[in-house]
């Protein structure tokens, strides 16, 4: 396990005041805010910043960390001495183990064992195709567990989860009895479904949005096109005179939920290049023979 320098993460000296630490945290929280940050690794950086602040903003945790961290360099292999936390009273148990690093969990994860089972939750990333076909996913969950000596260590559990077809972005799947074990009945596990970004497909609610490139003659004359969709392909009729930006709605062909969503095809007319004598001749003939001014009325 690597030692983490929380002061370096927040960019403050070791003797920084609580006020300085709060200011540094807020500056970084704004910089890496997931909704506005332009930084590529904003989410990962925000996690590190949150973890550092969780320790340094809490006087008890900060004192323990300072005592322990003396002499360690960031990235250095780190082993906490046994029972290092004796004599420290941690009164806040307001963290979720899954959000923090192994380093944090090793130091502070032994606090606050639960009296009874709690509901836990985890995010699961799926491919868009999985919403159409259903899927089975292996999910590794880390949760604190008390050993025979009463110490808490992180335990990894692997679950095979069946994802039903028709699942939607943001949907919660409840797995009874798979949450945190406690003295009583175990809690449930809530899985929150999200889709990985896809080059062609975009999911919005139950609807599936797909970009549909068409040739100028397909758009002008109308056509029946074979459109690949997750798990197969559909024949779709393009009306004559279709223009770029027009959206065709195919009812009931989106996410196969109950009721199913729609498939939305955004037409994009692609102009073939005039890269041969024949292609040039065709364009020149159109320019001569077709009375067409795309800027008429502009």
Partner 1 sequence: MSDDELITLEELTVVCAVSAEWVRERVAEGLLPERFDTLAVRRVRRMRSLERDFDAAPELAALVADLLEELDALRAHLR
Task: Pick the closer one to partner 1 by CB: 35 or 77.
Answer: 35
Contact stretch for partner 1 (CB under 8 A) within 26-34, 212-220, 222-230, 267-275 = 26-34
User: 22 or 151: whose CB is closer to partner 1?
Assistant: 22
Assess 121 for contact with partner 1 (CB under 8 A): yes
Q: Judged by CB under 8 A, which of 42, 68, 159, 190 binds partner 1?
A: 190
Does 185 help bind partner 1 (rule: CB under 8 A)? Answer: no
For partner 1, the binding residue among 172, 277, 290, 291 (CB under 8 A) is 172
**DSSP per position, the chain:** -B---HHHHHT--TT--HHHHHHHHHHHHHHT-TTT---TTHHHHHHHHHHHHHHHTSHHHHHHHHHHHTTPPTTSB--PPTTTTTT---------GGGS-HHHHHHHTTS---SS-B-EEEEEEE-HHHHHH-EEEEEEEEEEEE-TTS-EEEEEEEEEEEEPTT--TT-EEEETT-SB--SSS---EEEEEEEPP-SSEEEETTEEEEEEEE-HHHHHH-EEEEEEETTEEEEEEEPTT--TT-EEEETT-SS--SS---EEEEEEE-PPP--SHHHHHHHHHHHHH----TTTT-
**121 or 283: CB nearest partner 1:** 121
Question: Which residue in 18, 29, 63, 281 binds partner 1 (CB under 8 A)?
Answer: 29
Q: Per CB under 8 A, does 137 bind partner 1? A: no
**Contact call for residues 78 and 2 (beta carbons, < 8 A):** yes
* Contact positions with partner 1 (CB under 8 A) in 142-171: 168-171
Please, which of residues 58-117 interact with partner 1 by CB under 8 A?
96
Question: Shortest approach of partner 1 to residue 287 CB, angstroms?
Answer: 33
CB 99 → partner 1: shortest distance, Å?
9
Between residues 64 and 191, which has the closer beta carbon with respect to partner 1? Answer: 191
Query: Any contact of residue 202 with partner 1 (CB under 8 A)?
Result: yes
Residues 264-293 that bind partner 1 (CB under 8 A): none
Q: What DSSP string runs through 49-99?
A: HHHHHHHHTSHHHHHHHHHHHTTPPTTSB--PPTTTTTT---------GGG
Q: Which is nearer to partner 1, 41 or 99 (CB)?
A: 99
Of 65, 61, 25, the C-alpha closest to 46 is: 25
Using CB under 8 A, which of 119, 200, 213, 249 touches partner 1?
Answer: 119
- What is the smallest separation between the CB atom of 68 and partner 1, expressed in angstroms? 26
Binding test (CB under 8 A) with partner 1, winner from 39, 192, 224, 281: 192
Q: Compute the least distance from the CB of residue 83 to partner 1, in Å.
A: 30
Residues within the interface to partner 1 (CB under 8 A): 25-26, 29-30, 35, 96, 118-121, 168-172, 174, 190, 192, 202, 204, 209, 258-259
């Amino acid at each position: 396990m690597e030692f983490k320098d929380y002061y370096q993460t927040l960019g403050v000296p070791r003797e920084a005041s609580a006020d300085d630490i709060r200011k540094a945290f807020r500056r970084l929280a704004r910089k890496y805010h997931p909704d506005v940050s332009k930084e590529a690794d904003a989410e990962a950086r925000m996690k590190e910043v949150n973890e550092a602040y969780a320790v340094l903003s809490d006087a008890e945790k900060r004192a323990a960390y300072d005592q322990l961290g003396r002499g360690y360099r960031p990235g250095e292999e780190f082993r906490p001495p046994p029972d290092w936390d004796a004599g420290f009273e941690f009164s806040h148990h307001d963290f979720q183990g899954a959000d923090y690093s192994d380093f944090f969990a090793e130091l502070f994860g032994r606090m606050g064992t639960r009296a009874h089972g709690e509901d836990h939750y985890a995010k699961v990333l799926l491919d868009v195709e999985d919403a159409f076909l259903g899927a089975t996913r292996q999910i590794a969950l880390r949760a604190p567990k008390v050993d025979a000596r009463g110490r808490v260590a992180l335990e990894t559990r692997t679950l095979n989860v069946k994802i039903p077809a028709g699942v939607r972005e943001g949907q919660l799947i409840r797995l009874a009895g798979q949450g945190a074990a406690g003295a009583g009945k175990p809690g449930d596990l809530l899985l929150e479904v999200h889709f990985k970004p896809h080059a062609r497909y975009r999911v919005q609610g139950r609807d599936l949005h797909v970009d549909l490139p068409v040739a100028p003659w397909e758009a002008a004359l109308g056509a029946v096109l074979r459109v690949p969709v997750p798990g197969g392909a559909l024949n779709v009729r393009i009306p004559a005179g279709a223009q770029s930006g027009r959206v065709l709605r195919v009812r009931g062909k989106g996410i196969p939920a109950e009721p199913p969503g729609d498939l939305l095809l955004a037409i994009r007319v692609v102009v073939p290049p005039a890269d041969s004598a024949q292609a040039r001749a065709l364009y020149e003939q159109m320019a001569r023979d077709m009375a067409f001014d795309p800027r008429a009325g502009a």
